[in-house]
Amino acid sequence: MLSLIKLPRVFTINQVPKVFHEDSIISGYRHPRSSATDCILSLFQLTNETLNIWTHFLPTWYFLWKLLTVVLKEYFLWAADVWSDSFTWPLLVFLMSCCVYPLASSCAHTFSTMSTRARHICFFFDYGALSLYSLGSAITYSAYVIPDKWVNSSFHQYYIPIAVVNTVICTALACYSRLGLPYIQYNHDIIKRFSECKSPKFGKCLRILAFALPYLFDNIPLFYRLFLCVGEGCTDNNTNPLHHTHIALAFLTAFLFATHLPERLAPGSFDYIGHSHQLFHVFGIIGTHFQMEAIEQDMVTRRPWLLTYSLPITFTNTLGAALLSVTLSLGIIFLFSLPLLWSATRGEHTEKTPSHPIAKGCQYH
């Protein structure tokens, strides 16, 4: 069937605008003005984005299956109605965030070549989904993972509110790293990519900071439990090796994202298979899997003690916090996207890309 369909052609780095360039990736670029159909067809040809898409699209279904499995298991084991058992709510929020972030990522990578504006907006949503995942992790850590010594402490009581604030900062800072401030550094009359055009490393550093901040804060209870806590109340159980594995994979994914290895060592050799962003996706998903296994094991192992001594799990500190975070993040994404959407609606400064687009400087940005 696919042999009867004309697949979109691919381009080299010198044939696409700079906004689409990836560090040390020389070939395999899709047309920077692809149609939605072309974007979908590109899933079935080898480009430098193909494995980026599939390495997150397929795990989405795995996490969805896990979510449904947990819902059904909890239905039969713990309560006549799973939604009446508030102890499961943090896990449900976490699993929903695990479904959302790889799906948002795969969609962003799929449709990001429809235009420059589409690329920015796609990745705005990707950043929002990652910030939701960080909050989902924090909610489960508060409910199941926090060491016994810290249960009901002041830190425990303010942990979720601070995590919500961090997700807002994460989304805003990551969006800011692409274009700057809406209507101040870019608007419907001019799109100037201040960070990548003038200082490419600045935008990358801002994104790393945006996602490092919530990760490091969310994991404070876990880092203390695993590496600093001594004596009674440290929650030293069989789940700890799973937490160690997740942490190791998390730092590996951060290393790959920050260094662009291995393609930086041999530009052009890993354009299609094996470049850092693909590895970043793969190890990130594996890390999420181990995190999920550790959270579920802590939940089951510690359930009786936590139900007796820990803070009550309510709608406010689980589903309510997630809904608030989603609402605020969507508001931020809307604000950053509005100038781009408004200019596209008015048809102003339409991007014109020749059949063989040549990228020099920032003329297409």
Quickly list H helices, the chain.
Answer: 36-41, 50-77, 89-111, 116-140, 154-179, 200-218, 220-223, 240-259, 276-309, 321-346
pLDDT of residue 200: 63
Smallest CA-to-CA distance from 48 within 98, 109, 121, 105 is with 109
Read off the DSSP letter of residue 34: -
Between helix 321-346 and helix 116-140 the angle, nearest 10°, is 180
Helix pair angle (240-259, 200-218), 10° resolution:
170
Residues 152 and 14: their CA atoms lie apart, in Å, by 58
263-316 pLDDT, tens digit each:
999 999 999 999 999 999 999 999 999 999 999 999 999 999 999 999 999 999
CA atoms within 13 Å, Cβ hemisphere of 74? 22
End-to-end CA distance of the chain: 37
Q: What is the pLDDT of residue 341?
A: 86
Separation CA 70–CA 299 (nearest Å): 12
What is the pLDDT at residue 71? 76
DSSP string, 321-341: HHHHHHHHHHHHHHHHHHHHH
How many angstroms separate the CA atoms of 202 and 195, rounded? 6
For the chain, what is the mean pLDDT? 89
Around Cβ 116, how many Cβ atoms within 10 Å? 21
Give the pLDDT confidence score for residue 360 in this predicted structure. 42
CB atoms within 10 A of CB 350: 9
Contact 306, 144 (CB under 8 A): yes
User: At residue 294, what is the residue type?
Assistant: A
- Asked which of 7-21, 36-50, 142-156, 323-337 is least confident by mean pLDDT, the reply is 7-21
Single-letter amino acid, residue 18 = K
Structure tokens, 236: 């030293």
pLDDT single digits (tens) 333-361: 999 999 988 765 555 444 444 444 444 43
pLDDT at position 190 is 56
Taking only the tens place, the pLDDT of each residue in 51-99 is 999 999 999 999 999 998 877 765 555 544 566 789 999 999 999 999 9
- Looking at residue 358, what is its pLDDT? 44
Q: Are 188 and 346 in contact (CB under 8 A)?
A: yes
User: What is the CA 19 to chain-centroid distance, rounded?
Assistant: 20
Report the predicted TM-score, pTM, of the whole model to 2 decimal places.
Answer: 0.91
Residue 225 amino acid letter: R
Q: What is the pLDDT of residues 192-247, one digit of tens each?
A: 544 455 566 788 899 999 999 999 999 999 999 999 999 889 999 999 999 999 99
What is the model's pLDDT at position 204?
A: 85
Q: Are 214 and 134 in contact (CB under 8 A)?
A: yes
- State how far the alpha carbon of 123 is from the alpha carbons of 64, 126, 175, 227, 258, in Å: 22, 5, 8, 35, 17
Going by the DSSP 8-state scheme, the letter that residue 196 receives in this structure is I
CA distance 207 to 210: 5
Is the pLDDT at 331 greater than 90? The verdict is yes
User: Which phi and psi angles does 28 have, rounded to 5°?
Assistant: 90, 15
pLDDT at residue number 77: 54
In the block, residue with structure tokens 């979109």 = 8
Please tell me the predicted confidence (pLDDT) of residue 349.
43
Confidence at residue 323, expressed as pLDDT on a 0 to 100 scale: 98
Tokens of 318: 């689980």
